[in-house]
Amino acid sequence: MENTILEPREKEERLPRLNSELWKYCDQPGQLIPLLQAAQETYGYISESAIKHISAVSGVPESEIYGVITFYKQFRLRPLGKYLIRLCDGTACHVNNAKMLKAVVEDELGLSGSDTTEDGLFTLAPVACLGCCSLAPVVMINDMTYGRLTPQKLRTILRKYKKEGQAADSVQSEEAE
Ligand code: FES
């Protein structure tokens, strides 16, 4: 899964690529899933404008498109957070208290009923196995792997990312003023 937050200019640059994908599929039966996958690969999620665009190109009503997106777990209606937390719940991690780590992430980041925090900093994605079972329980945050975690260690790590993410956001908003 691509973890990307695109700047507006980058999004524009990717539009022709999305369009070529759209036209490739638009006359085929069962076109909707590949169209949605193309949109998600292009933008990292399926935006409202992508849905309108797909509806116009394919002739499938927007309500039907929303129905398909919400039915399939692979599709996202919101961008991924700046920090993607892959929390392993494979067998080795599961027996080493992965459930407790999930509770820590949800509590520390205030996630309830959504996989992404309101400020767009974090997305939580449970995964089956990260391939380093000897380090169980394991969590990956973007490209960094953290193993042999305890709830307290994980809290400290999350707080560090939170601080870093909030500091970067405030620098960006100062620059925008
Ligand atoms: S089960 Fe968690 S890394 Fe393999």
Cβ neighbours of 149 (radius 10 Å)? 24
Q: Which residues of 104-115 are buried (b: 16+ CB within 10 A; e: fewer)?
A: bbeebbebeeeb
Query: What homologous superfamily does CATH list for 83-176?
Result: Glutaredoxin (3.40.30.10)
Q: How far apart are alpha carbons 150 and 96 in whole angstroms?
A: 10
CB of 90 shorter than 6 A to ligand 1: yes
pLDDT tens profile 133-161 = 999 999 999 999 999 999 999 999 999 99
Question: Best substitution site from 95, 100, 133, 149 to test ligand 1's pocket, by max atoms within 8 Å of Cβ?
Answer: 133
Q: How many CB atoms within 10 Å of residue 70?
A: 10
Where do the structural domains in the chain lie, given as residue ranges?
8-71, 83-176
Q: Give the distance (Å) from ligand 1 centre to CA of residue 102.
A: 14
Rounded to an integer, what distance in angstroms lies between the CA atom of residue 85 and that of residue 152?
A: 16
Return the ligand 1 atom nearest residue 91 CA: 1
Residue 109 CA to ligand 1 center (angstroms) comes to 23
Tell me the best of 129, 145, 149 to mutate to test the pocket of ligand 1, counting ligand atoms within 8 Å of each CB and taking the most. Answer: 129
Helices (H), 59-150: 62-71, 91-94, 98-109
Q: Rounded to the nearest whole angstrom, what is the distance from the C-alpha of residue 99 to the centroid of ligand 1?
A: 13
- C-alpha distances (whole Å) from 138 to each of 27, 33, 108 are 44, 32, 17
**Its pTM surpasses 0.75:** no
- Extended beta strands in 17-174, E state: 83-88, 122-127, 139-141, 144-146
User: Mind listing the pLDDT tens digit for each residue in 82-126?
Assistant: 999 999 999 999 999 999 999 999 999 999 778 899 999 999 999
**For residue 6, what pLDDT band results from cuts at 50, 70 and 90?**
very low
